[in-house]
Amino acid sequence: MLNVFWLLLKRDLLLALRRRSEIFTVLFFFLVVISLFPLGVGTEDKTLKQIAPGVVWIAALLASTLALDRLFSSDFSDGTLEQLALAPQSLSIMVLAKMVAHWLLTGLPLVLISPLVGLFYHLPNDSMVVMMLVLLIGTPILSMIGAIGAALTLGLRGGGVLVSLLVLPFYLPVMVYGSGAIASSMLEGLSLQPYFLLLGAFALLAIVFSPWATAAALKISLE
Amino acid sequence: MTLEVKNLQCIRGDRELFTDLSFQLEAKQLLMLEGKNGSGKTTLLRALCGLYEPDVGEILWHGKSIKKQDELYRRELFYLGHLNAIKPDLTVFENLRFNTQLAGGLETDDALMQALDAIGLFAFEDFPASQLSQGQKRRVALARLLLTKATLWVLDEPFVALDAAAVVLLQSIIADHVDKGGMVILTTHQEVSLIKGEVKRLSLTALTENRESLNA
């Protein structure tokens, strides 16, 4: 069971390596959205600190939907998805591998580049650490929820736009608690524990249910 | 070893493709599925693989419904549809290795190379699949036939895009598998000559026409 997980993870990473532009599109999109806000809203220190938590999460949400429609569509159109469904292994495990690959390619780069955002927005050091942590817990959830949406819209015309409309509402809780944690970290004497616990709970829930739901949706799309 | 299809009915949209379809396939038998375009050949093959849920009827493998066997059945099944499952960004060798490992095969790299040589892709191992012709891509997909340990082969138009030499080669691979006690179901317009083993024929068009004349 683990073999097939590594097999698929390795293949997806190799494919992405051969087509690097797709990784950088997401990263640059994130950076562009982030840098648009100071230009539009103004560069006053107080304003920037106030909008930073929301801006980071909105940019992360949009950036992660950007690569979603590619998650299964190429495997679907070249017939690999049929072979995955017919392999004598659990489709959920393979789906989980694809989700992990998607996160490594689109979520992890955002986490790693987020200190730069902190500098843009004059965030204190503590808040930068909190921002990286909540992004680290939150972006995998985005990949996992997004995969369900991508599987449901597979093979539909205009699926790319549809998948954003479908999954963005489900991203809301992650955004609310993720940005809440960053905002609270800038105030004195507030505990951040509830935010981390809630985000952790969402992540666990997503790990348990999303591979199974995605696999079921893929089987419907293949019919 | 039997594959048994009982009273199968498939409906696509509001069009009835076939009704009350029953047949049985034993070891050392080859089933040629015939029928005009749109008669439901591909749908039937996909239903046999479990990719498509038939509206009525049952498919039994060793007397047990394939839905209840799931991974066990898929271990004994090899399916090749219209699509080759070839990634243009991977090399020929990487494609074959991924696809065999996915199906649970533990072949060594040497065995994979030999399969590629045998299927006529000698010296193409490190080519990106995007540079191959349509027929060569089909050959990469068919190289898996030489490595698979599956008993039941379900092939949808396997001869499409192949040149004359490859057609002969594939015919011999299929005949060999049947001779060794395997089962093959395929749709094609080519004849497959077997040394031993039995060729069955099933025409979906005839089924539909019979029913239409009965209704009239």
pLDDT in tens, A36-79: 999 998 888 899 999 999 999 999 999 999 888 889 999 999 99
A3 interfaces chain B, CB cutoff of 8 Å: yes
CB–CB of B87 and A15 under 8 A?
yes
The answer to whether the Cα torsion of B140, B112, B48, B5 is positive or negative is positive
A80 interfaces chain B, CB cutoff of 8 Å: yes
* Residue entry with tokens 């898996």: B144
Q: How far is B83 from chain A (nearest CA, A)?
A: 5
Q: How far is B205 from chain A (nearest CA, A)?
A: 22
Q: Which pLDDT score is estimated for B68?
A: 87
Q: What is the pLDDT of residues A160-217, one digit of tens each?
A: 788 989 999 999 999 999 999 999 999 988 899 999 999 999 999 999 999 999 999 9
B77 DSSP assignment: E
Q: What is the pLDDT of residues A4-47, one digit of tens each?
A: 999 999 999 999 999 888 888 999 999 999 999 999 988 888 99
CB–CB of B71 and A7 under 8 A?
no
Q: How confident is the model at residue B216 (pLDDT cuts 50, 70, 90)?
A: low
Render the burial of B76-108: b for 16+ CB within 10 Å, e for the rest.
Answer: bbbbbbebbbbbbbbbbbbbbbbbbbbbbbebe
* Cβ-Cβ contacts under 8 Å, B75 against chain A: 88
Q: Which pLDDT score is estimated for B16?
A: 83
> Of residues B208 and A92, which shows the higher confidence score?
A92
Mean residue pLDDT across chain B: 87
Q: What is the pLDDT of residues B8-51, one digit of tens each?
A: 988 888 888 888 889 999 998 999 998 888 888 999 999 999 99
Q: How far is B80 from chain A (nearest CA, A)?
A: 8
CB–CB of B104 and A90 under 8 A?
no
Token pair listed for A40: 């539009």
Domain ranges of chain A: 2-222
Q: Which residues contact B187 (CB under 8 A, 6 or more apart)?
A: B32, B33, B34, B35, B41, B42, B45, B155, B156, B157
Partner-chain residue, chosen from B75, B85, B88, that has the shortest CB–CB distance to A83: B85
Q: How far is A2 from chain B (nearest CA, A)?
A: 12
Render the burial of B120-159: b for 16+ CB within 10 Å, e for the rest.
Answer: bbeebbeeebeebeeebbbbbbbbbbbbbebbbbbbbbbb
Q: Which residues contact A185 (CB under 8 A, 6 or more apart)?
A: A126, A127, A130, A131, A192
Q: How far is CA A201 from the centre of its chain?
A: 16
CB–CB of A88 and B74 under 8 A?
yes
* Cβ-Cβ contacts under 8 Å, A86 against chain B: 49-51, 74, 77, 79
